[in-house]
A and B are shown apart, each in its own frame.
Chain A
Amino acid sequence: MREEIISAIIQGLWQALYLIWSGDSALREIVLLTFRVSGTALLFSSLVGIPLGAILGLSRFHGRRLMISLLYTGMGFPPVVVGLFVYLMLSRSGPLGQLGYAWVPELFTPSAMIVAQTIISFPLVAGFTMAAVMGVDPFLRRQLRALGANPRQAAITILSEARIGVVVSIIAGFGSIISEVGAVMLVGGNIEGQTRVLTTAVVLETRKGNFDLAIALGIILLILSFVVNLAVLFLQGRTFNE
């Protein structure tokens, strides 16, 4: 049994290299859809999460503690529960699904997967951004005001000072959705050529007993995740060297 597993891993490594080198069209489609779904979800969660994190970190208002508690709870949401929630909301008899509006995504489409992944990554992006902003020198705001910054300019400068933390929040958000399988499986359905992404493909191949292909897909997922994180760090330039 041990030999079989080792053999599957070695086979998987070779197959991963072969699939990448040969430019397998099915694999390319899966990778592109993975990036499209997770990339769009990350974009949405960053667009909402970073400003919200900054507001929660910088402002004091009634209900802030409740919002932070909800955010922390959201950071620990099991993806499969999020998937179930989105599934129920978007199903034909669900509260949103029965409205029949064009802007409500249908189940088993990439749009539904984007909705689920946005809900998963958004609390992480907002929560880590809030923590990063709160970690900035508390006297900086007063100094910026003394230099003539208006509240918007001060908030942007503080976000810029917390940029390492903000990048970490984006990476954490990306990590949470590129690797999750429960939600996309539920709301996407793992339909070949339509909603199959790398994680659901790994599950499918494992269930079929194609361990070498599952390992190959897993390795490709790891490589892609590594490359994306490396690219983000590279874009940050020398900030990380300080």
Chain B
Amino acid sequence: MNGYLYDLQGVTKEYEGRRVLNIAELQVRRGEILGLVGPSGAGKSTLLRLLNFLEEPTEGQVCFMQGTFGAGHPIPLSLLRKVTTVFQHPVLLNRTVWNNVAYGLRLRERSWPWAKGGIRRCVDEALQQVGLGHLPEQRARTLSGGEAQRVALARAMALEPEVLLLDEPTANLDPYNVTLIEGIVRDLNCEQGTTIILVTHNVFQARRLAHRVGLLLDGFLVELGDVESFFQSPSDPRTQAFVKGEMVY
């Protein structure tokens, strides 16, 4: 593992015979924010689903926290619960905001009985952090898009995951919510040391938040490097074109 949280070697994913992802090598360091940019259909979301073990790779294996998982080697639930994803379109339960945020913690109640008394505290704290402390009793289905995304973020934060995967978390949100969510992500990484993998179309957002950035094109990881080198001296011409905003897709 060489000290990496994730280590992917020769990972591919196919749907109905069509290869959508082909990662020769990818390592994720503990405590970093890794930005993954690329056009639609590049395989970014597919990669996130593999990293959250929601799907199995067609070939290759995903090494995560000293374990190796892949087809026929499912991840144990205890390890799966160290990772969570906030999707672009948050799916909230038809419950109150508070109960949505408490959901993941309640799932773990049986395995962590001592956490029972802490659920209220965790949920209240998470709601305060995302600026929704005043809406705990509101029905989730009545929230605006920005509020719903913040509830989804609070729900993930309350779990205190080792890895937080963000799939276009600010797409279609107004600048106020974008700034708010970016601030929360930054705080989460700095204060709690959460490893964050951020998938975004927005190269500016990747530049603002990430320590390292990777470009995915047609399922291939074209380039991966520190944020400075990625944006200022990219080695691959496709990356150069992408960061300049020239059409490469």
Q: Does A148 contact B (CB under 8 A)?
A: yes
Count of residues in A whose CB is under 8 Å from the partner chain: 17
Q: Does B94 contact A (CB under 8 A)?
A: yes
B91 near A137 with CB under 8 A, answer yes
Other-chain contact of A139, B77, B89, B108, B155 (Cβ < 8 Å): B89
Which positions in A face B, CB cutoff 8 Å?
137, 139-140, 142-143, 145-150, 153, 157, 160-161, 239, 242
In the assembly, what is the distance between CA of A139 and CA of B89, in Å? 9
In the assembly, what is the distance between CA of A139 and CA of B80, in Å? 18
* Given A139-B89, A139-B91, A147-B159: A153 and B54 interface contact (C-beta under 8 Å): no
Q: Does B104 contact A (CB under 8 A)?
A: yes
Q: Which residue of A lies closest to B55 (CB)?
A: A142
CB-based closest 9 A-B pairs: A148-B81, A147-B104, A146-B85, A143-B91, A140-B91, A139-B91, A148-B107, A146-B52, A149-B107
Which DSSP category, helix, strand, loop or mixed, fits chain A's interface? helix
B81 near A139 with CB under 8 A, answer no
* Given A142-B54, A143-B87, A242-B139: A150 and B104 interface contact (C-beta under 8 Å): no
B107 near A242 with CB under 8 A, answer no
Mark contacts of B95-120 with chain A using CB atoms, 8 A cut-off: 1 yes-contact digit, 0 otherwise: 00000000110011000000000000
Chain A hits for B93, CB < 8 A: 140, 157, 160-161
Q: Does B84 contact A (CB under 8 A)?
A: yes
Q: Does B73 contact A (CB under 8 A)?
A: no
Q: Which residue of B lies closest to A150 (CB)?
A: B77
B107 near A147 with CB under 8 A, answer yes
What's the interface size class on B, roughly?
20 to 34
Chain A hits for B49, CB < 8 A: 142
A148 near B84 with CB under 8 A, answer yes
Chain B hits for A148, CB < 8 A: 77, 80-81, 84, 104, 107-108, 159
Q: Does B141 contact A (CB under 8 A)?
A: yes
Chain A hits for B141, CB < 8 A: 242
In the assembly, what is the distance between CA of A147 and CA of B108, in Å? 10
Chain B hits for A137, CB < 8 A: 91
In the assembly, what is the distance between CA of A139 and CA of B91, in Å? 7
Q: Which residue of B lies closest to A162 (CB)?
A: B94
* Given A139-B89, A157-B93: A147 and B139 interface contact (C-beta under 8 Å): no
For the complex formed, measure the closest distance between the CB of B99 and the CB atoms of chain A, giving whole angstroms. Answer: 11
For the complex formed, measure the closest distance between the CB of B221 and the CB atoms of chain A, giving whole angstroms. Answer: 22
Chain A hits for B89, CB < 8 A: 139
In the assembly, what is the distance between CA of A8 and CA of B104, in Å? 61
For the complex formed, measure the closest distance between the CB of A218 and the CB atoms of chain B, giving whole angstroms. Answer: 38
B77 near A242 with CB under 8 A, answer no
For the complex formed, measure the closest distance between the CB of B93 and the CB atoms of chain A, giving whole angstroms. Answer: 6
For the complex formed, measure the closest distance between the CB of A146 and the CB atoms of chain B, giving whole angstroms. Answer: 4
For the complex formed, measure the closest distance between the CB of A96 and the CB atoms of chain B, giving whole angstroms. Answer: 42
Among B84, B156, B165, residue most surrounded by chain A Cβ atoms (within 10 Å):
B84
Which residues 49-99 in B have Cβ within 8 Å of A in the complex? 49, 52, 54, 77, 80-81, 83-85, 87, 89-91, 93-94
Q: Which residue of A lies closest to B77 (CB)?
A: A150
B77 near A147 with CB under 8 A, answer no
A161 near B107 with CB under 8 A, answer no
Chain A hits for B83, CB < 8 A: 146
For the complex formed, measure the closest distance between the CB of A192 and the CB atoms of chain B, giving whole angstroms. Answer: 49
Q: Which residue of A lies closest to B49 (CB)?
A: A142
Taking A147-B84, A147-B156 as known contacts, 20 extra A-B pairs with beta carbons closer than 8 A to each other, sorted by chain A number, are A139-B91, A140-B91, A142-B49, A142-B87, A143-B85, A145-B54, A146-B52, A146-B54, A146-B87, A147-B103, A147-B155, A147-B159, A148-B80, A148-B108, A150-B77, A157-B93, A157-B103, A160-B93, A161-B94, A242-B139
For the complex formed, measure the closest distance between the CB of B8 and the CB atoms of chain A, giving whole angstroms. Answer: 18
In the assembly, what is the distance between CA of A82 and CA of B192, in Å? 64
Q: Which residue of B lies closest to A154 (CB)?
A: B107
Q: Which residue of B lies closest to A157 (CB)?
A: B93
For the complex formed, measure the closest distance between the CB of B200 and the CB atoms of chain A, giving whole angstroms. Answer: 18
Among A146, A157, A160, residue most surrounded by chain B Cβ atoms (within 10 Å):
A146
